[in-house]
Structure 1
């Protein structure tokens, strides 16, 4: 594949063999970028000719990683499909009784020569047999339970729609649609700060020059060149909310999809990627945020809370108790202290919430 840059394999393999491990290989790559390029240089003004705006270099790395992660996942899916098809086509005489073989022969994966009228025979009585009638009342029960729900157009009842809930659970389980959705020709996922969209392209599309992506403040347009030389718009629609187009970017996963990363203008959860798209229920998504998204003060407070909780479970002093203990120790040997020169015993002193230290008279 052209996008794989196989012409560099010999040189890169030599580096990997010399280093002996992935960590050393990556260190050599990043070290080269540091010494010989402006990859780590921060562009402070738009007039700067070298470097990147804040966060862009990291996004380039993540996009490259994501591109090949997606390819690896697709390879695994193809292998699994091939394995299942191979298992389905294998003779089943030695691994299953005749009844099981009959059911399997009726699947579409079997060769045409094996699909006969025989499988129809066991299916007819199966519908009327005592062992196959049990699931039918259950299906009827579930169906009636949904139908008998009071008709209410309020948003609360819509939020509890079991079909929408099931659909969102499916979206959540897929990294390409986590906190987002899967649509006919694209999928999208999101964090509180950005959106990742994957727009499907034909398998013959392997070069970036055959793709056009236009990211506007509140519009996205993705087109690709067809075999005829004509350009086809895959996506051309308004975005649900505004984005920062200067900090948004895209890349092509050859023969699979165009990956578009959109930096949100404001922190909020999107109900849809495009204005014409059906909305998801943002109450059903994972709205948690990593600590790295918080400011330094918030991270410090959360870290302190986690530390104190761990100390309490271990029966050890919390950070606040340690501060009090240190202040008591300083006061113990301070000038004018009645305990100066004596072994430190914090039980003989008290400190109130206002920081005033007093002697514990109940302690001998």
Structure 2
């Protein structure tokens, strides 16, 4: 992907340099989509050949933003890991290992010395005891059944494999398969089906999305139709809200909207399943209702204010009440500069003077 996109960097850098600000740069790019494409044209019926269904263009922009946001988060995590990695002078680990081996060897020789000087009877008895008494099954001898060890090994391998998928935004919460790669959120599934380098136009591709079926074909260099995917989806989708696009010479991007919010274990029924316990099941803030978003926003604001030593939201409300009471009729402070430290508000909302204020 990077090699294809890099070819446009010089042009885009020229535009950015000329505009000077990200906001102006975005205005140029989105303005181009408005003037020169059907990106903002709304399809009024299924017979329209230009434009997108209502809300689809905004979804496309948001999807691309989330994709590169995930890239940035992954890069930041890698930088954090590098900063947190302990640094040791070269050779320290090898020196410790060598010293441990010497200590172990010395301890063993000291332990064996008394046995060599003991009487023959004692030695014989000890040997007999060692060879005839069965294991007592102590804590050091307890071993997990082979089947349990096998399950643990498989779970560990699956967890490591899923972590590798999580590190790639294109397979985030999904997986990489032979012919495609897929990712998901709680409400959408994105499948990118690989195509040969000579597939550069949409008319070379045929995509059919049904409620629970996906079929993707392309025409090869001889004009013969080749089927890449033809299988049942794991769960139902809203086919009217699904869309696809071609990234020339790379892949066909199929975006599916789930009919119900749930985490899929696989994109297609016949592919290996992932363990959804190993994925990121958190939901983006934009998926929450307005009330929840407002509450989280208030919490984030309060945390920021607390770090800066400034009044939090509830304290600001109290200060506003105090300011009104300060200049109210009959207030002993009327006309004086506002000083909230000389007033208190109890849990019942009653305002009183701070007698401890000097």
Shared fold per TM-score greater than 0.5: yes
* Counterpart position of 1:214: 208
Deviation of 1:296 (Å) = 3.4
Q: 1:227 to 1:65 in 2, by over 3 A?
A: farther
Q: How many angstroms apart in 1 are the aligned matches of 2:284 and 2:339?
A: 43
* Counterpart position of 2:235: 241
Comparing 221-230 and 207-216, the one that deviates more: 221-230
8 Å contact kept, 1:63–1:251: no
* Counterpart position of 1:346: 340
8 Å contact kept, 1:272–1:279: yes
Comparing 45-54 and 228-237, the one that deviates more: 45-54
* Counterpart position of 1:314: 308
Q: Which runs of 5+ in 2 are unaligned?
A: 69-100, 102-142
Deviation of 1:40 (Å) = 3.1
Whether 2:248 is the aligned partner of 1:250: answer no
Q: Deviations over 1:238-275 (max 9, x none)?
A: 11122222221112233332221112223322111011
The Cα RMSD (Å) is 4.1
* Counterpart position of 1:261: 255
Q: 1:229 to 1:176 in 2, by over 3 A?
A: same
Q: How many angstroms apart in 1 are the aligned matches of 2:355 and 2:198?
A: 87
8 Å contact kept, 1:16–1:25: no
* Counterpart position of 1:179: 173
Give the alignment of 1:42-81 within 5 angstroms.
Answer: 46=45, 52-60=52-60
Q: Which runs of 5+ in 1 are unaligned?
A: 70-133, 135-146
* Counterpart position of 1:126: none
Indicate the SS of the match to 1:20.
Answer: helix
Indicate the SS of the match to 2:52.
Answer: coil
8 Å contact kept, 1:248–1:261: yes
Deviation of 1:333 (Å) = 1.7
Indicate the SS of the match to 2:317.
Answer: helix
8 Å contact kept, 1:40–1:57: yes
Whether 2:267 is the aligned partner of 1:273: answer yes
8 Å contact kept, 1:221–1:233: yes
Deviation of 1:322 (Å) = 1.3
* Counterpart position of 1:200: 194
Q: How many angstroms apart in 2 are the aligned matches of 1:352 and 1:313?
A: 25
Deviation of 1:291 (Å) = 2.7
Provide the TM-score with structure 1 as the length reference: 0.62
Q: Deviations over 1:29-64 (max 9, x none)?
A: 533443576643556x65896863333224555789
Q: Deviations over 1:80-111 (max 9, x none)?
A: xxxxxxxxxxxxxxxxxxxxxxxxxxxxxxxx
Deviation of 1:197 (Å) = 0.9
Q: 1:53 to 1:360 in 2, by over 3 A?
A: same
* Counterpart position of 1:20: 18
Aligned match of 2:328 in 334, 345, 353? 334
* Counterpart position of 1:167: 161
Q: How many angstroms apart in 1 are the aligned matches of 2:63 and 2:339?
A: 59
Q: How many angstroms apart in 2 are the aligned matches of 1:322 and 1:62?
A: 34
Indicate the SS of the match to 1:260.
Answer: strand
Aligned match of 1:189 in 180, 183, 186? 183
